[in-house]
């Protein structure tokens, strides 16, 4: 049986030189389905791989739907086993509560240069005032820790910080007609301060993590290794874009056990321990992925969806749809339609779907409705 592997020699980023094996995009998708456990029937929180990396909780079909798709029964596991934190790119992510201390260490900026990139426009006034960005994050965290000794809304905490921190930390917000702390230092400072997000609150409410003390990081939570493990094969640039970090910082920490492979003429890397899984990965089943599911967060979008028009439909600037995943391939988009007691799922397939696939999509729509606690009133297949 052929798996689409060829052989060549490749360049070196870190660690020893390996032979390049040419891999087709279908095998990459199937590997990621398996690595992310999207083909798992059921499983416990402890053995859910994406929780090592963090599960982004954006929108109504966010982290909990992503976990349900990976076979996690949250009703049985218990919501108190999870913790919601601002981490990667300043977005809210779910983790196992017992991992919070190690996650805090793993998600810290690697350096001053990395911190500057992660806070975006907030770095300029800080540097102009002679304040290092890491120093600023520590200052923000210290004030947050002192102020938020009990649950506090983001607005109240932001207002208190604005009254206590000097001008280089602050910006004028036109939409609020008020002066606030820059957004990214606020978000990245929260976990540094030992604060979690209270689930289901909007605007967000922050509260102290009981007994929080930052712990040493370990390989299981290493962000670069996690990207290669769950979204590989990848390049340092892919990882850097995902983390909002400089490529130089990622290259400096590149795993020594990363194996070089070839994808469409490009050198990429995967962890040596995953090479056999990449070669043999299979994927079966249908899933309605949420708009920010980790499977869709890979920075090599052209590998997942080569057609540019389809990629634009799946990843618009605003208002992302979900993706219809069938046997490891994205075959269309979907959107929820809720009006009063009516809950429909609108599916836009990119090609004609066989009857068996349409039935599988309808079953997944029923599953989504049950997850939301509503009754499904229909699945509308739009013309492709």
Which residues contact residue 75 at a Cβ distance below 8 angstroms, ignoring those fewer than 6 apart? none
Per-residue CA distances from 21 to 9, 24, 324 (Å): 9, 10, 29
Residue with the two structure tokens 């049985």: 76
Give pLDDT tens digits for 80-104. 999 999 999 999 999 999 999 999 9
Spatial contact of 82 and 97, defined as CB atoms under 8 Å apart: yes
Give pLDDT tens digits for 168-196. 999 988 877 788 899 999 999 999 999 99
CA dihedral 339, 345, 348, 353 (to 10 degrees): -150
User: Are β-strands 170-173 and 178-181 bridged in parallel, bridged antiparallel, or unpaired?
Assistant: antiparallel
pLDDT of residue 15: 47
Which residues contact residue 124 at a Cβ distance below 8 angstroms, ignoring those fewer than 6 apart? none
Give the integer Cα–Cα distance in Å for 60 and 114.
Answer: 31
pLDDT of residue 11: 41
pLDDT of residue 13: 62
Answering whether pTM is above 0.85, one says yes
Low-confidence ranges of the chain (pLDDT < 50): 1-11, 15-19
Give pLDDT tens digits for 197-233. 999 999 999 999 999 998 887 888 999 999 999 999 9
pLDDT of residue 185: 97
Spatial contact of 350 and 332, defined as CB atoms under 8 Å apart: yes
Residue with the two structure tokens 């349409």: 358
Give the integer Cα–Cα distance in Å for 270 and 291.
Answer: 25
């Amino acid at each position: 049986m052929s798996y689409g592997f060829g052989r060549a020699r490749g360049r070196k980023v870190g660690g020893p030189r390996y032979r390049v094996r040419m891999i087709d995009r279908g095998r990459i998708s199937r590997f990621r389905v398996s690595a992310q456990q999207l083909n798992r029937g059921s499983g416990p929180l402890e053995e859910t791989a994406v929780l090592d990396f963090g599960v982004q909780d954006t929108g109504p079909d966010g982290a909990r739907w992503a976990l349900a798709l990976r076979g996690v029964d949250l009703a049985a596991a218990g919501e108190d086993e999870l913790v919601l934190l601002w981490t990667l790119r300043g977005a809210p992510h779910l983790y196992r509560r017992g991992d919070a201390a190690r996650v805090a260490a793993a998600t810290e900026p690697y350096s001053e240069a990395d911190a500057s990139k992660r806070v975006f426009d907030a770095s300029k006034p800080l540097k102009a005032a002679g304040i290092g960005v890491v120093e600023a994050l520590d200052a923000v965290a210290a004030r947050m820790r002192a102020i938020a000794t009990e649950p506090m809304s983001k607005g109240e905490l932001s207002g208190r910080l604005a009254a206590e921190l000097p001008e280089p930390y602050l910006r004028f917000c036109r939409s609020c007609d008020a002066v606030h702390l820059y957004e990214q230092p606020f978000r990245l400072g929260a976990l540094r301060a030992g604060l979690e997000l209270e689930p289901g609150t909007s605007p967000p409410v922050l509260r102290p993590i009981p007994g929080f003390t930052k712990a040493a990081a370990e390989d299981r939570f290493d962000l670069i290794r996690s990207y290669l493990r769950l979204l590989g094969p990848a390049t340092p640039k892919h990882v850097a874009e995902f983390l909002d970090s400089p490529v130089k910082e990622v290259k400096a920490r590149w795993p020594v056990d990363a194996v070089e492979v070839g994808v469409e003429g490009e050198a990429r890397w995967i962890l040596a321990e995953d090479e056999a899984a990449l070669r043999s990965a299979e994927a079966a089943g249908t899933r309605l992925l949420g708009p920010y599911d980790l499977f869709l967060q890979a920075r090599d979008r052209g590998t997942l969806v080569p057609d540019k028009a389809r990629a634009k439909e799946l990843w618009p600037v605003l208002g992302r749809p979900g993706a219809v995943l069938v046997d490891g391939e994205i075959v269309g988009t979907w959107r929820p339609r809720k009006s009063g007691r009516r809950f429909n799922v609108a599916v836009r397939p990119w090609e004609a779907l066989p009857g068996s696939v349409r039935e599988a999509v309808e079953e997944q729509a029923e599953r989504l409705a049950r997850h939301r606690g509503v009754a499904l009133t229909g699945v509308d297949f739009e013309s492709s």
